[in-house]
Amino acid sequence: MPKSPFTQRVLNIQASATVSAFARAGELRRQGVDLISLVAGEPDFETPEHIRDAAIRAIKAGHTRYTNPASGIPELKDAICDKFERDNNLHYDPSQIIVTCGAKQTIFDAIIVLIEEGDEAIIPAPYWTSYADQVRLMGGNPIIVPTTQDSDFCMTARQLQDAITPRTKFVLLNSPCNPTGTVYARENLNALADVIAGANIYVIADEIYEKLLYEDAEHVSIAALLPGLADRTLTVNGVSKSYAMTGWRVGYGAGPQNLIDLMIKVQTQETTNTCSISQYAALEALTGPQDCVESMRRAYVKRRNQIVSRLNRMPGVSCNMPLGAFYVFPDISEYIGRSSSCGRIDSDVALCNFLLEKARVACVPGTGFGAPGYLRFSYAASPEHIARGMDRIEAALTALL
């Protein structure tokens, strides 16, 4: 057999589980299938009007060319610095900020800078689908630390300590977490910070869902917890989730100058700059009225309560109450091994396919997040949509009992 012309690193990774599920749901809908999709990791709200108006003004003002610097327009970098100061007790110079085409690019650029062949990155599971494969793309080894539903999917300081080796370059923390909605408490993060400081490794802190918190949950930026920890932490954020701007593709990161300078160098060879119009929209998002964020957050609280209540009433399903983001991550392992007219349900992937074919409800299997035996549902959907989806799922699962 002739040798493949393609790199083994790319051949060895999977397409994003969430993007693939979203594409499949879109394909079925275009075919006219009456499908309820609880897949998308994006708000179902429109981008607030004042943000859209800012983009229109940017177009009319001629802000449609390359930006200078390529790493972000100065006004947006200043606004990001103000945001970190105000919300996170973190203090940065604009030169320590990079604006990217989404938080995903921010993370990947950091991985490109930090990981060489054989290096290790510690990632607690369940994890967002792209983390591990981005490490693999650079020839690194993701060291997956499994967590449990009983611990609310939080990695402990002991687990982190046990995972560190001489090859460890960084640990990747996501709070609030996609897919579980877990929010790390201050005491948990303090314990992790002590281990990280002692090991002298980097942290990539993905905080994209920080504004979507429920009950008395508190968002804490790990970079602010210990003196000097900010010098080894990349704090990642963006406007996609909090401001319903997923398609605008604006993320950002803040960190030590030497790391950010190298990430900017990488970006100049990738995308040059983030869309100029989107940057002016992001500027308005961060500096304009914030009541839209709270309005969406309140809606998510009601939807979260609705979907968790329905799932926990279903036999064989167990779902924690998430404190952040807009996902639930129920344990459906009791249904693995059962049989249906579609064949044997031998995995969470098979159950996901069963629900797609028989219930016409789209979701994402836990395997894509490093956690077999679970499913992820997004409640960034209307209450009516959620109710119909839960009705269909309950009927389909009952048929398996």
pLDDT (tens digit per residue) in 226-247: 999 999 999 999 999 999 999 9
Q: Which residue has the higher pLDDT, 38 or 10?
A: 38
Q: Which of 30-39, 129-138, 321-330, 391-400 has the lowest mean pLDDT?
A: 30-39
* Domain spans of the chain, in order of start: 8-46+292-398, 51-287
CA distance 142 to 265: 24
Does domain 51-287 match CATH 3.40.640.10? yes
Give the CA count within 13 Å in the CB-facing half-sphere of 82. Answer: 11
Rounded to an integer, the average pLDDT of 78-88 is 99
Rounded to an integer, the average pLDDT of 87-111 is 98
Confidence at residue 17, expressed as pLDDT on a 0 to 100 scale: 73
CA distance 19 to 31: 19
**How many angstroms separate the Cα of 62 from the Cα of each of 54, 68, 100, 288, 304?**
12, 14, 21, 21, 42
Q: Is the pLDDT of residue 24 over 90?
A: no
Confidence at residue 103, expressed as pLDDT on a 0 to 100 scale: 98
Confidence at residue 26, expressed as pLDDT on a 0 to 100 scale: 82
Confidence at residue 277, expressed as pLDDT on a 0 to 100 scale: 99
Q: What percent of the chain is predicted at pLDDT more than 90?
A: 89
- The whole-chain average pLDDT of the chain stands at 96
- Residue 227 burial by CB count (10 A; 0-12/13-18/19+): exposed, middle or buried? exposed
Tell me how crowded residue 4 is: count the other CB atoms within 10 A of its CB.
9
How many helices (H) and strands (E) in the chain? 13, 14
Query: Is 271 within 8 Å of 38 (Cβ atoms)?
Result: no
Confidence at residue 126, expressed as pLDDT on a 0 to 100 scale: 99
Q: What is the pLDDT of residues 174-218, one digit of tens each?
A: 999 999 999 999 999 999 999 999 999 999 999 999 999 999 999
H-helix or E-strand spanning residue 353: helix 348-354
Q: Is the pLDDT of residue 1 over 70?
A: no
CA distance 70 to 272: 6
Rounded to an integer, the average pLDDT of 294-300 is 98
Q: Which of 159-173, 201-215, 335-349 has the lowest mean pLDDT?
A: 335-349
Q: Is the pLDDT of residue 224 over 70?
A: yes
Task: Could you please state the CATH topology (level 3) that the domain comprising 8-46+292-398 is classified under.
Answer: Aspartate Aminotransferase, domain 1 (3.90.1150)
Q: Where are the beta strands (DSSP E) in 39-198?
A: 97-100, 120-125, 141-146, 168-174
- Identical fold for domains 8-46+292-398 and 51-287, yes or no, is no
Give the pairing of strands 364-365 and 36-37.
Answer: unpaired
* Coil, helix or strand at residue 118: coil
Residue type, 276: S
Confidence at residue 115, expressed as pLDDT on a 0 to 100 scale: 98
H-helix or E-strand spanning residue 307: helix 291-312
Query: Is 389 within 8 Å of 35 (Cβ atoms)?
Result: no
